[in-house]
Structure 1
Amino acid sequence: MQGAMQGSSADSLARLTDALGTAIEGGADGAALGEGLFGAADVLRAQPALRRATTDPSMPAEAKRALATGVFGSHLDAAATEIVGTAAGLRWTRSSDLGAALEQLGVVALVKAGDAKGEGDRIEDELFAFGRAVTENHDLRDALSDPGRSDADKQALVRGLLEGRASDGSIRLAERSVSGAHLTVTRAIGEYAKIAAGTRNRLVALVRAARPLGDDEQQRLGEVLSRQYDRPVHINVVVEPALVGGVRVEIGDQVIDGTIASRLDDARRRLVG
């Protein structure tokens, strides 16, 4: 997966996201659809010639759609085949954007499947917890990034750690994060968490605090941020004892630093200035 898409790719991704929602609302199995889209993304990543052919701007859209349908139709269910065929018929700024879009749509499908079972909040929380575990456990991070281990071996390790402790959707996304489609596991999980929140029309706030925040404190902070950003905000808390008083809130590229240390630094800068 890569950064935010631009131009034609962004427009195409938006159209496909709507089509995916329509398919699931029409009865398509979100989990199965997600797996199919992941599989198609893997094939496109592994076969540059196919990727170039299905994104060639000089080829008619119907021809590219027919090519994709012919390649994937015998391997995917009808809903996934329709999405992949539609995607091939759209315009993409870069050839790699098609596979990246299918990857993102696969995440959206799994999140929607979990949300339908009332597990949306749980998936967001579990993705964050898994990402923190990988960040803080050097042995685990090394094992999941070891180029000498197969993807299947890494996925088995992830499933062994999470099975019985996390939802099916979270486990599958955690497994997917070590598939080789990403530069790092933690980057993949971070992207998945953003997609999950966006799918549910929410923002994610990373809150750094010197001590754990109680449920009431998290709820009040979430309400304040939701009013400020005019959207629901999901709170993830990281405890950093080195912080002195207050909290530091990160939402996207924006930082709200209310720690004592930050206020003292501001005061020093004003005095020196």
Structure 2
Amino acid sequence: MIEILSPTELHRAKQAGALVARILQTLKSRSVVGTNLLDIDRWAETMIVEAGAVSCYVDYAPSFGRGPFGHYICTSVNDAVLHGLPHDYTLADGDLLSLDLAVSTDGIVADSAISFIVGESKPPQSVAMISATERALRAGIAAAGPGARIGDISHAIGSTLREAGYPVNTEFGGHGVGSTMHQDPHVSNTGRPGRGYRLRPGLLLALEPWVMADTAELVTDDDGWTLRSATGCRTAHSEHTIAITRDGAEILTLPEHAHS
């Protein structure tokens, strides 16, 4: 199903996006050396509940997972890249942490992810990988607009990631959002321009470039959720929810300080 949002629904989507951005930036500021992933999950729960929003993850039980996710945020560390199940782990200096959050406000969902390095140590290869996913995200957004096609976005993302030297996995990618977290159309992180669904004003998309340093192969943890690089290499993940407008694309999950 592909949903096209009304102006009223789009207003609610903007509220959801602002909340997601605010929570992620707060959690980033609190994620320091010595922070436990379970604390991050509890902080996310508190902020979601206090905002009167609804978590998209707690009861999330897709075919590829093992039962309900049961937590409020995905916390993926180092070689973990997607669906990181919060567990009893204390962050160390130089850890690469990806936080992925989706919430619903008044029935409309926004979804975003950020990757960053904890502490003072900044391994150059990790910095470069995070930067590549952020550039790919910007390229995908720049390719989005009314009349463009999904393949245009996928091509822009994939070209940027490959130019940076990373293999691209196509099992998981971006997706439509609206009244639920995962909808059609699927947005692969590589593709051919001019192909696929034609974008229309009112469409919400979550674009999410993610890479692993030296492989495109994933393995699943024993927890049934956390996806890691098959080689144990580090990973990075960046995601925004965007709304297709008459003029182009509007980022709904941009942090407040980034608007200026």
Same fold (TM over 0.5): no
Given the two structures, how large is their TM-score scaled by the length of structure 2?
0.30
Q: Please tell me whether Structure 1 or Structure 2 has the larger radius of gyration of its CA atoms.
A: 1
Point out the structure with the larger helix share: 1
Which structure has the higher relative contact order (CA within 8 Å, separation 6+)?
Answer: 2
Point out the structure with the larger strand share: 2
